[in-house]
Amino acid sequence: MNLTSITIGQYWWLKAGVFFSLLAIAGLSIANNARGQSLQLAKVSEGFDAERTYQRSCLACHNTGVSGAPALGDKAAWNALMAKGMDAVISNIISGLNTMPVRGLCFTCTDDDLRALVDYMFQQSQR
């Protein structure tokens, strides 16, 4: 399927498929504060793997920037997003924003897991 020519119905079925594949995710990672200045250990779920969770939960939108999602690797977009502060970003993820679903479809993620995911995507975009 060509992702640039899928219908809205196909898009939502794709998102539903991603949702159902996420129900067993947990882990541990390092998280950055809102401005990426001081590194701190997040209280993430045991065994949490930010990269694996990104692949399962975030990639569908953040790999290419679908529907305005900041694309992984887009340094300017991630810097602008993180300028709002980590708490604001996490709040938007928890409640959903625009076309991003509640908790970014990671319903097994704790708030700290979500912070670790954001930090992972932000750090990947700073290279």
DSSP labels, 40-94: EE--PPTT--HHHHIIIIIHHHHTTTGGGPPPTT-HHHHHHHHTT-HHHHHHHHH
Backbone angles phi, psi at 39, to 5 degrees: -85, 135
What pLDDT, on the 0 to 100 scale, is given for residue 61? Answer: 93
What pLDDT, on the 0 to 100 scale, is given for residue 86? Answer: 94
Integer CA distances (angstroms), 27 to 4, 18, 113, in order: 32, 18, 7
Domains and CATH numbers, the chain: 7-124 (1.10.760.10)
Instruction: Round to the nearest angstrom and report the end-to-end CA distance of the chain.
Output: 30
**pLDDT tens, N- to C-terminus, the chain (127 residues):** 445 566 666 555 555 554 444 332 323 233 333 444 444 445 678 889 999 999 999 999 999 899 999 999 999 999 999 999 999 999 999 999 999 999 999 999 999 999 999 999 999 999 8
The encoded tokens of residue 124 equal 């990947």
What pLDDT, on the 0 to 100 scale, is given for residue 70? Answer: 95
Q: Report the amino acid identity of residue 112.
A: D
